[in-house]
Amino acid sequence: MPRLPARGAGASSYSAQLKFDVPSGDGRRKTRYATVRDSYQDAQRELTRLLGELDTGALPEPSAMTVQQYLAEWLRTARTQSPKTLERYGELIRNQIDPHLGSLKVRNLRAEPVRAWCVKLLDQGFAPRTIGHAHRLLRTALVPVVREDVLTRYGLPKVEAEEIEILSEDQVSAVLKALEGHSLYPIVSLALLTCMRRGELLGLQWGDVDLDGATLRVERAVEETKAGLRLKPPKTKRGRRSISLPAEAVTMLRAHKVAQMETRLVLAQGPIKPETLVFSNVEGALLRLRNVTKAWWRIVTAHDLPHVNFHSLRHTHVSMLIRAGVDILTISRRLGHSKAAITLDVYGHLIGGADAAAAKALEGLLK
């Protein structure tokens, strides 16, 4: 029986997995799935279309499709709410998968062509990390219709851990001095003092900030796609978090709020409201992530500062916490990582001397 998920009352976004049975060659029935986004009405229309194609015999069998056809259909119904993620999936399919595997029938896909594909991408100069992303996408999409051994990870190029760039205390001082009076100063300062991501900083609203309580809440982030800017919730439950603010952050934000109120008064934009963006353009609208990045690089170049990207401010914050002896679980929660293991994997090498300290703590145990 076809099944259509119930309408979500008051939901701002809709994603449903349709489930229906199709006859197979051996007389039994096989369950098929399809994912629909946007609205309950779209799900109804898609289910009607699929059942109509099933009745007329026009519904394609996934294994009979080419890899290119299958991935195009999979991408159309991919179960994700992020337009940016869909854009990235599309790029990987167009640039890394379709040119090499797209013409193969899904039913004819074997492990050797997949391994050869990975080697060819490496020979063509694609980064091992990019190849790994393309392979993972192929694996995710094709798992329902091909054997597990076809999509084995054997033969994937090894991805070396990226070196984390961190600013020293002197370099941090040089950066902040170069930014004095610049519109980037409060953004960079808060990044250094909270380890918030660039998108989280630009999605921050004054209703999220409690200056008296010296805390702020991360509730959303700005995402930039080809279609424009949008606000999205954090990817994980841990991503929605509360961050304690040091006194310097509170002082800086108070001064920034006063300056923003003065600007809004001059431009007749009204008082600051809870939904007012902490960092915005002069019209009070969302800032583009790419513009913040460009402004950052202009400052770095003009003042001959350390050539590190904006995300290094987050790494710098973590390194300072580690040097101060803050435990990894607290750091992980401050970062918004879903698991402390992720934090250890990325920053574990910065915890120098921990093993020696452990040995010293055990001295005298056998006496």
pLDDT tens-digit map of 286-300:
999 999 999 999 999
105 and 206 fall within a common domain:
no
Position 193 scores a pLDDT of 96
Q: Is residue 258 part of a domain?
A: yes
- The predicted pLDDT at position 246 comes to 95
CATH number reported for the structural domain that contains residue 332 in this entry = 1.10.443.10
pLDDT mean over 10-39: 59
At 31 the pLDDT is 64
Q: What is the mean pLDDT of residues 136-149?
A: 82
Q: What is the pLDDT of residue 260?
A: 96
Q: pLDDT tens digits, residue range 315-339?
A: 999 999 998 889 999 999 999 998 8
Do 233 and 331 share a domain, yes or no? Answer: yes
Query: Do 105 and 1 have their domain in common?
Result: no
- DSSP state letters, 215-251: EEEE--EEEEETTEEEEE--SSTTTSEEEE--HHHHH
**Would you state the pLDDT for residue 65?**
83
Write down the pLDDT at residue 160. 67
Percent of residues, the chain, with pLDDT higher than 70: 79
For residues 230 and 336, membership in a common domain is answered with yes
Same domain, 238 and 322: yes
Q: Coil, helix or strand for 23?
A: strand
179 and 254 in a single domain? The answer is yes
Question: How many domains in the chain?
Answer: 3
362 lies in some domain: no
For residue 303, which amino acid is it? H
Q: What is the mean pLDDT of residues 252-278?
A: 96
Same domain, 38 and 146: no
Picking from 59, 74, 92, the residue at the C-terminal end of a domain is: 59
Please indicate, yes or no, if residue 366 is contained in any of the structural domains.
Answer: no
Give bridge partners of residue 253 from the DSSP assignment.
Answer: none
Each residue's pLDDT tens digit, 36-95: 656 777 777 777 776 776 666 555 566 678 999 889 888 887 766 678 888 899 999 999
Long-range CB contact pairs, 132-136, < 8 A, 24+: 132/156, 132/157, 132/159, 133/88, 133/92, 134/92, 134/96, 134/97
Rounded distance, CA 157 to CA 159, Å? 6
Cα distance from N-terminal residue to C-terminal residue, the chain: 73
* pLDDT score recorded for residue 298: 95
Residue showing tokens 């449903």 = 16
Q: Which domain holds residue 277?
A: 169-354
Asked if residue 205 is part of any domain, the answer here is yes
Is there a domain that residue 186 lies in?
yes
pLDDT grade for 11, boundaries at 50, 70 and 90: very low
Instruction: Check whether residue 49 and residue 73 sit in a common domain.
Output: no
Say whether both 232 and 252 belong to one domain.
yes
> Is the model's pLDDT at 107 over the cut of 60?
yes
pLDDT tier at 163 (50, 70, 90 boundaries)?
confident
Measured in degrees and rounded to the nearest 5, phi and psi for residue 17 equal -105, 115
Among candidate residues 111, 126, 160, the one where a domain is terminated: 160
**pLDDT beyond 60 at 9:** no
Residue 313 has pLDDT above 50, yes or no: yes
- Are 228 and 315 in a shared domain? yes
Q: At residue 129, what is the residue type? A: R
Does residue 214 carry a pLDDT above 90? yes
Residue 16 lies in a domain: yes
Looking at every residue in the chain, the average pLDDT score rounds to 84
Q: Which of 138, 160, 182 is the last residue of a domain?
A: 160
Q: Are residues 80 and 206 in the same domain?
A: no
Is the pLDDT confidence value at 147 over 90?
Answer: no
Q: Give domain status of residue 109, yes or no.
A: yes
Q: What is the pLDDT of residue 60?
A: 56
Q: What percent of the chain has pLDDT over 90?
A: 50
Range 163-192 average pLDDT: 93
Same domain flag for 279 and 295: yes
**How many other C-beta atoms lie within 10 A of the C-beta of residue 213?**
11
Q: What Cα–Cα distance (Å) separates residue 286 from each residue in 68, 182, 193?
A: 37, 18, 22
Does residue 367 belong to any structural domain of this protein? no
Give the per-residue pLDDT at 240.
Answer: 95
